[in-house]
Amino acid sequence: MKVIGINTATVFGSIGIVDETTVIGEYSLNVPITHSERLLTCIDRVLADTRVRMDQIDGFSITLGPGSFTGLRIGVSTVKGLAFAVDCPVVGVSTLEALALNLWDSPHHICPILDARKKEVYAALFRVDRFHKHRRVTPDRAVSPRELAGQIQYPVTFLGDGIEAYGAYFKRKLGRLASFTRPELSYVRGSVVARLGMALMMKGKTLDLPSFVPHYLRRSEAEIKYEGKKENNHGGRCS
């Protein structure tokens, strides 16, 4: 069984191919160009370099969010097109869960954080049990750093691009309760997305191809402006 894992939820884009026992290949870029400019090229490259044909792929795994609204839309639309073309199932995984899996043996709770802009972070809490399985403690959410810090009463290891903007704040507020992973572990890797997706695929938890959408966690700026415009237009009408 071979699965392609794709992350477009962050600037760090990554495509990985795995089978049941190993990582066959992975290609990642951390550059400020849109995923629409690089995604299909990167998929073609990792397939060519690993000598895996598209008709040998058994399924696609995609980060559904949270993350960049534009990046998520590009990833979802691309995967839908590829899956339709080759008649393969698709599964979706949490961006934060895929990030948390970079720490497979942490003695502390794990808190992946992504910079959500607007003075918020996307965050969730996980822990590793005695069987080395990750267990979710909280759902994915968009919260202020202050709210997140106020809910932490135990040692936590932070990872993710939110550290750059808010790491100093968490260190100041939480003191010895806060630790931070190495920078290279703060990226969502395509191989991890693929590994998570394979587990879901084996359980039959595939997505409905025509209808599935990204998990944004909050409304986009365009939606907010549109609703505000509708309310203003409605309020200006005479009865």
Same domain, 207 and 132: no
Strands 23-30 and 90-94: unpaired
At 130 the pLDDT is 84
What is the spatial distance between Cα 124 and Cα 111, in angstroms, rounded to a whole number?
6
Q: What's the DSSP call for residue 150?
A: H
pLDDT score, position 105: 83
Q: What confidence score (pLDDT) does residue 229 get?
A: 54
- 208, 33 in Cβ contact below 8 A? no
Beta-strand ranges (E) seen in 19-165 are 23-30, 59-65, 90-94, 109-115, 121-123, 126-128, 134-136, 141-143, 156-159
Q: Look at residues 32, 35, 15 and name the one whose alpha carbon lies nearest to residue 161.
A: 32
> Which residue segment(s) compose the domain that 31 sits in?
3-94+188-220
C-alpha dist (Å) from residue 145 to 141, 177, 220:
12, 15, 20
Residues 152 and 194 in one domain: no
Report the number of distinct structural domains present in the chain. 2
pLDDT at 149: 97
Let me know whether 212 and 108 are in one domain.
no
Pair (51, 124) in one structural domain? no
User: For each successive 10 residues of the chain (239 residues), what is the average pLDDT?
Assistant: 97 96 95 87 96 96 96 96 96 98 92 96 94 92 97 96 96 97 95 97 96 87 48 50
- Tell whether omega for the bond before 183 is within 30 degrees of 0, i.e. cis: no
- What CATH number is given to the structural domain containing 45? 3.30.420.40
pTM across the whole model:
0.90
In this structure, are 88 and 113 located in the same domain?
Answer: no
